[in-house]
Amino acid sequence: MKSIVLAGNPVKHSYSPLMHNAAFRALGLQQEYEYSLLALRSDELAGFVDSIEVGDFEGANITIPHKQRIMVHLSEVTKQAESIGSVNTLYREDERVVGCNTDMLGLLGVFRESEIKIEGASAVVLGAGGAARSVVYALSSLKAGNILIYNRTLRKARELVQDLEEFFSTSLAAAIFPVREDSLREYDLLLNCTPVGMKGHSVGETPIKKELLRDDLVVMDLIYNPVETRLLKEANNVGCRTVDGIALLIQQGAISFEKWTGLKPPVDVMRNKLLKKLEAESQ
């Protein structure tokens, strides 16, 4: 059995096993592949990568808080992931452990499917971790006009700006939480890349005051459990256009699936399994 895991901390909230195992069954691979959760501390990262290298694991998705920390332990990182500064997928190739970033590619798909106009737009990004790096990279590659990055520590937000501004013409700036009352006035998009509001972390909380939201703002939350976070609920109440994290989960998951198996995943099966789970939980 080839074992693939979601490694991070926390992970028990994740729907990734449900989605990927449904895809394995649909393709008749359930006796060959299995996807599970692995709570992992930072001091266990090196040993975990070694376990993939020797074949104890076939591959992995990487989540909070390890998307950046794990990079130093990898045999190879794709050029794109190196530029972004984070990885979310590990796979084996010629006895090497390769790290890539399917979040960024998944985001491009989400923007395209949602018909969100990025070129020339102004965006506020909340957070400066691995997910935020993917978001800023994706927005910049689509020629966003300017991006303001908020984080708890200004240093980390500035590091993100310095790492990515050399690759694109998009204007990048850093700021420290809390979000100022006038910050969203001139912006078109708000993207939450923090875990604030996530089940198992801080469900019911929001990273931004609802009074700052405007009805002409597009609000996207990368969190997918719960699907409607407090941020998205309040944004919907104001009249904002909203995008939840399920679309990105499926998009990036499909790309990861192909890295591990070499096969195109049954995306409809993955989506339907997730939606049935969500419907059951909402009753």
Cα distance between residue 38 and residue 8, in whole Å: 7
Are 275 and 226 members of one domain?
Answer: no
Are 78 and 115 members of one domain?
Answer: no
pLDDT of 56 reads 95
Element (H, E) at 270: helix 267-282
pLDDT of 42 reads 96
Are 119 and 238 members of one domain?
Answer: yes
Q: Name the percent of the chain in helix, strand, coil, to the closest 5.
A: 40, 20, 40
Q: Give yes or no for residue 113 having a pLDDT over 80.
A: yes
Are 236 and 172 members of one domain?
Answer: yes
Q: What is the mean pLDDT of residues 23-46?
A: 97
Are 140 and 43 members of one domain?
Answer: no
Instruction: Report DSSP state, residue 212.
Output: G
pLDDT of 204 reads 85
Percent with pLDDT over 70 in the chain:
99
Are 128 and 108 members of one domain?
Answer: yes
Are 8 and 119 members of one domain?
Answer: no
Are 210 and 259 members of one domain?
Answer: no
Residue 80 tokens, joined: 């794109």
pLDDT of 283 reads 59
Instruction: Count structural domains, the chain.
Output: 2
Task: Reply yes or no on whether 79 is catalytic.
Answer: no
Are 212 and 228 members of one domain?
Answer: yes
Of 67, 199, 259, 264, the catalytic one is: 67
CATH code of residue 188:
3.40.50.720
pLDDT per residue over 212-266, tens digit each? 999 999 999 999 888 899 999 999 999 999 999 999 999 999 999 999 999 999 9
Are 268 and 234 members of one domain?
Answer: no
Q: Give yes or no for residue 282 having a pLDDT over 70.
A: no
Residues 6+ apart with CB under 8 A from 262: none
Q: Which amino acid is at 39?
A: A
Q: Report whether 145 contacts 170 (CB < 8 A).
A: yes
Beta-ladder partners of 173:
148
Q: Give yes or no for residue 91 having a pLDDT over 70.
A: yes
Cα distance between residue 204 and residue 62, in whole Å: 25
Helical packing angle, 154-164 and 130-141, nearest 10°: 40
Residue 17 tokens, joined: 């096993």
Are 190 and 265 members of one domain?
Answer: no
Cα distance between residue 193 and residue 128, in whole Å: 8
CATH code of residue 53:
3.40.50.10860
Cα distance between residue 174 and residue 57, in whole Å: 38
Q: Which domain holds residue 167?
A: 104-243
Are 127 and 213 members of one domain?
Answer: yes
